[in-house]
Structure 1
């Protein structure tokens, strides 16, 4: 299948491109830099130059493909409205390009805000609608294209998609711990984060492309919820740092923009996804990754 991938050179996107190519699919990746383009070409993928603001380029890439996997995001956590607006515009553009074709549109989403007091499941609809909501309401926008002849599938990634080379949330928390001289956790540290290894996440995306019915919500979740205290303890071991609770009122100042996320309970299950796709994650757990040096250690450079 000819697949157009946005975010193809990103952390998750790079692993997805590898898995797609290994499975025999043809990939065209959106690349905004010479470095990203060269990396994609070296893997055997084709390149379309552009970025998330190049809507005409995205439209052309989608129109020329048999399927689209939309993983790009600006990830501007300081100015989330900027990221949300760009995300909604991209999904709208891709959906319109695929309208009436029956072709798949898989898009990255998340589990934050789905539920309170229990793990999120695939049956939980996103509460976010409209351009002013998180991610610009892109999950619901994409799923609405099912009525317009598109085959949408939501990819709900765990808050941490971890592994060696990850520069996401766990890397940020590690950097804060080193800067502050303490591996902290919010409050009593019992709030949890779902987690998945990046190779398992990539395998799920390919299986979702090949097997998921239109309108599916897939959960890239290998671990239902790792307590934030255990995450902090692992970071503390890696850097020989003390571990301590950060009182709720101090979380914003201690962590900055990531504090709001680290204080959330972001647990989720993937029972339905595993049954639907035959997906069996087998990568390292989050704590194993931290323990084995995926995020550096006191002896690492």
Structure 2
């Protein structure tokens, strides 16, 4: 297949591109900058210059391909107070892809999330994506609505799938949530966890996540809800203890009322108990994670160099 990948130079996209190419697919990578274009070209993909808010470019690029993997999200805007704006841009991009792919049976796989969708219990694939699901307010609700709309594209002749990603997509070079926890522990002199640290975070290695996106574009049935989750739920205390040991600082509890001061923008996320299952995904697509789990990956030491 000839596959358009948005976010092709990003943390997950830069693993998805070689995964697709090694499986014999041609890749067109959307690049918003010269640096991104260089990364995409170096990986062996064709470069298509543009941004995800350039809807005409997205439509033309998708029309010239056999399928789309949509990974791009304006994280810089989202984490600087503009989550709702970033989520709306994402919705419009998916809507544009749906217009082009409607009636063709071509695949569209988008990245979504699992964090916070079923607090305190194990989230299973498809929860929150049906028409009967309750509404969620604010920016997270907008992103969830986009995932629901993607699943609904199956009725319009699109082989659509939503890949709910764990909050920690880890691996060497990660600059996401776990890297931020390491930086906070280094700065504060303590590896913190909220309360008793029993909050569970699902996780997956970026190479396992990349393989799941390939399987989704190749074989996921229309309207599939998938989970990119290898570790169902790693306790935050266990994560903090590994970080503390490698940095030579204590692992210690942070009272819930002090979480915002200690963790800053991460406070809400580290306070969530949000495990997730991928049993259905594994059975449906034969996806079996083979890379190190989060704790094993932390123990390798690359997060602390």
TM-score of the two chains, using structure 1 as the length reference: 0.95
**Correspondence for 1:46:** 46
1:204-219 to 2 correspondences below 5 Å? 204-219=212-227
Matching of residue 95 in structure 1 with residue 103 in structure 2? no
1:6-21 to 2 correspondences below 5 Å? 6-21=6-21
Unmatched runs of 5 consecutive residues or more in structure 1: none
Contact 2:151 2:225 in 1 (8 A): no
Shift in Å, 1:123: 3.9
Please list the CA deviations of residues 185-213 of structure 1 after superposition, one character each: whole Å capped at 9, or x if unmatched.
Answer: 01110010001111111111111111110
**Correspondence for 1:149:** 157
* RMSD value, Cα: 1.5
CA distance in 1, matches of 2:247, 2:219: 42
CA distance in 2, matches of 1:273, 1:130: 27
**Correspondence for 2:73:** 73
Shift in Å, 1:291: 1.2
Contact 2:116 2:272 in 1 (8 A): no
Matching of residue 175 in structure 1 with residue 177 in structure 2? no
Unmatched runs of 5 consecutive residues or more in structure 2: none
Matching of residue 35 in structure 1 with residue 35 in structure 2? yes
Please list the CA deviations of residues 55-77 of structure 1 after superposition, one character each: whole Å capped at 9, or x if unmatched.
Answer: 11111111111000000001212
Please list the CA deviations of residues 25-62 of structure 1 after superposition, one character each: whole Å capped at 9, or x if unmatched.
Answer: 00000011111111111121001111122111111111
Shift in Å, 1:125: 3.0
Please list the CA deviations of residues 150-178 of structure 1 after superposition, one character each: whole Å capped at 9, or x if unmatched.
Answer: 11101011110000001111111111111
TM-score of the two chains, using structure 2 as the length reference: 0.94
CA distance in 1, matches of 2:137, 2:6: 22
SS in 2 for 1:218: strand
Contact 1:74 1:83 in 2 (8 A): yes
**Correspondence for 1:116:** 119
CA distance in 1, matches of 2:161, 2:171: 25
CA distance in 2, matches of 1:117, 1:289: 25
1:211–1:40: structure 2 CA closer, same or farther, 3 Å change rule? same
CA distance in 2, matches of 1:79, 1:253: 21
Contact 1:192 1:226 in 2 (8 A): yes
CA distance in 2, matches of 1:257, 1:60: 37
**Correspondence for 2:261:** 253
Shift in Å, 1:114: 2.4
User: Could you tell which deviates more after superposition, 8-17 or 284-293?
Assistant: 284-293
User: Could you tell which deviates more after superposition, 29-38 or 78-87?
Assistant: 78-87
1:123–1:92: structure 2 CA closer, same or farther, 3 Å change rule? closer
**Correspondence for 2:2:** 2
2:128 corresponds, among 106, 125, 128, to 125
